[in-house]
C-alpha cells in the first residue's frame, strides 16, 4: 500500500514538472510597431518672461509742487494725455519776464538799424566822423546778439513751462503713482510713475549658442514664423495663448559664463491679458532638417539610467540599447541604436527579457 502511494506522488510531481516546462517554452504574445523614418516636428520649451517693448519712468524735469494728478492708478492712457501738473506760476512768470526782455531787445535792434541807415547817408557826404559810424556798427551787432539771447531765454522759459505738464509719451498703461498732491518734486530725481505700452508685448528667453543660427534665420522670416505658429506661449494656468509670436530682436553677444544668448519675441496683446513680469513657457516648434527614426514612446524601457527597446527578431525578443532625442506627440526620436523598418515590441514589454520567445499578435 505504501509503495502504491509513493508511486502516485512521484507521478504527480513528474506531470507537474512537465507542465511547467511546456509553459516555459510557450512564446509571449506581444504587439509590435515599426520604427519609421520621417520628418519630425520638434518642440522645445524655454522658461520665459513677458516684458513691455516700450516702458518709461516718468520723472519731473523742473522743481515744484504737484498741483494736479489727472490719471488714476493703473489707467490706460492715450499718447499726449496730461498725467501730472507741477506748479506753473513761477515758470509762467519767468516766461513773461523773458518775453519782456525780448521786446526790449527787438526795440534796441530796430533803433540800431535806424541809426546805421541814417549814418550811412551822412557818411556818403563826409558829414559824420568815422568813429561815430563804427560805434553804431558795434551797437547794431550787440543788439543783434542781445536779441538772440533774449529769444533763447524765451525758448528756455517756454520749455520749463511745458515741463511743468507731464504728458504720456505714448499710449499704454500707467502703474501706481509714486507721488500725491502737494508733493515737492526734484528735477531728474523724483519718480512720478511708470508707463508701458500694452500691444504688442515682448517675451524674453535664453537660448543656447548652438541654436543661434536657427533663430537668426527665423529673424529674417517674421511672416512665415507667425503663419507656421513656430512660437507659442503656454500661460501659467497651462492654457495656450491664442496668438503666435515672432522674433523682435536677438542680443548682440553671447553670455560667456552661461553660453546662452537673450532673444526677445513679439506677441500681439489685443485683449491686454499679457502683463510685464508674467512668467510663462515658450513652445518652440520646428521641423527636423532631415528624416529621423522614431518609435512609439510606450516601447521604451528605462532601468538604471539605461534606455532600451525590444526588437522582434525571428520569433525572439532582442534587447537593444538606444539613445533618445526629442519627443514628437506620442513618438520619440531615436538618435542611435535602430534602423527604419525594424519591428519594435510596444505591448508586453514588461513580460519579456532578452532572448525570450515571442509571438506577434495580429491586430487585424
Tell me the pLDDT of the chain (364 aa) as tens digits: 444 444 444 444 444 544 444 445 688 888 899 898 887 777 788 999 999 999 999 999 999 999 999 999 999 999 999 999 999 999 999 999 999 988 988 888 888 888 878 777 777 767 677 777 777 788 888 888 888 998 999 999 999 899 999 999 999 999 999 999 999 999 989 999 999 999 999 999 999 988 888 888 888 877 766 666 688 999 999 999 999 998 899 999 999 999 999 999 999 999 999 999 999 999 988 776 678 888 998 889 988 888 999 999 888 899 999 998 877 778 888 888 888 889 989 888 888 888 889 888 876 5
Q: Domain residues of the chain, as ranges?
A: 26-42+291-360, 44-53+201-287, 59-87+164-196, 89-163
| Domain 26-42+291-360 class, CATH top level | mainly beta
CA angle 18, 20, 24 (to 5 degrees): 120
Report the greatest alpha carbon distance in the chain: 173
Which 3 state secondary structure label does DSSP give 212?
helix
Report the CATH superfamily, name and number, of domain 44-53+201-287: Efflux pump adaptor protein, beta barrel domain (2.40.30.170)
| Domain 89-163 class, CATH top level | mainly alpha
> Do 26-42+291-360 and 89-163 share a fold?
no
Buried b (16+ CB within 10 A) or exposed e, 6-40: eeeeeeeeeeeeeeeeeeeeeeeebebeebbeeeb
The fold of 59-87+164-196 is: OB fold (Dihydrolipoamide Acetyltransferase, E2P) (2.40.50)
pTM attached to this predicted model: 0.66
Amino acid at each position: 500500500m505504501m509503495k502504491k502511494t509513493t508511486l502516485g506522488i512521484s507521478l504527480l510531481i513528474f506531470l507537474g514538472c512537465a507542465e511547467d516546462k511546456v509553459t516555459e517554452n510557450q512564446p509571449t504574445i506581444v504587439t509590435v510597431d515599426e520604427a519609421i523614418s520621417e520628418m519630425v516636428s520638434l518642440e522645445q520649451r524655454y522658461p520665459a518672461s513677458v516684458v513691455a517693448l516700450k516702458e518709461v519712468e516718468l520723472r519731473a524735469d523742473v522743481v515744484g509742487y504737484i498741483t494736479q494728478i489727472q490719471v488714476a492708478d493703473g489707467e490706460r492712457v492715450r499718447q499726449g494725455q496730461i498725467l501730472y501738473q507741477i506748479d506753473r506760476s513761477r515758470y509762467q512768470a519767468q516766461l513773461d519776464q523773458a518775453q519782456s526782455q525780448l521786446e526790449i531787445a527787438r526795440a534796441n535792434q530796430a533803433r540800431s538799424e535806424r541809426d546805421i541807415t541814417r549814418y550811412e547817408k551822412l557818411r556818403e557826404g563826409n558829414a559824420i566822423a568815422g568813429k561815430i559810424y563804427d560805434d553804431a556798427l558795434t551797437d547794431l551787432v550787440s543788439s543783434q546778439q542781445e536779441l538772440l539771447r533774449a529769444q533763447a531765454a524765451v525758448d528756455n522759459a517756454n520749455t520749463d513751462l511745458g515741463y511743468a505738464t507731464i504728458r504720456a509719451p505714448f499710449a499704454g498703461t500707467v502703474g501706481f503713482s509714486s507721488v500725491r498732491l502737494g508733493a515737492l518734486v526734484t528735477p531728474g530725481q523724483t519718480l512720478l510713475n511708470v508707463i508701458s505700452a500694452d500691444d504688442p508685448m515682448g517675451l524674453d528667453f535664453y537660448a543656447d549658442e548652438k541654436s543661434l543660427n536657427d533663430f537668426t534665420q527665423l529673424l529674417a522670416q517674421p511672416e512665415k514664423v507667425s503663419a507656421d505658429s513656430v512660437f507659442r506661449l503656454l500661460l501659467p494656468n497651462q492654457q495656450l495663448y491664442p496668438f503666435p509670436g515672432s522674433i523682435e530682436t536677438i542680443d548682440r553677444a553671447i553670455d560667456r559664463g552661461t553660453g546662452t544668448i537673450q532673444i526677445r519675441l513679439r506677441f500681439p496683446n489685443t485683449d491686454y491679458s499679457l502683463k510685464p513680469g508674467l512668467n510663462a513657457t515658450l513652445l518652440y516648434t520646428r521641423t527636423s532638417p532631415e528624416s529621423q527614426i522614431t518609435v512609439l514612446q510606450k516601447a521604451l524601457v528605462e532601468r538604471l539610467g539605461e534606455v532600451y527597446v525590444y526588437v522582434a527578431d525571428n520569433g525572439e525578443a532582442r534587447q537593444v540599447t538606444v539613445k533618445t532625442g526629442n519627443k514628437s506627440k506620442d513618438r520619440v526620436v531615436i538618435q542611435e541604436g535602430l534602423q527604419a523598418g525594424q519591428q519594435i515590441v510596444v505591448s508586453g514589454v514588461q513580460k519579456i527579457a532578452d532572448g525570450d520567445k515571442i509571438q506577434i499578435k495580429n491586430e487585424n
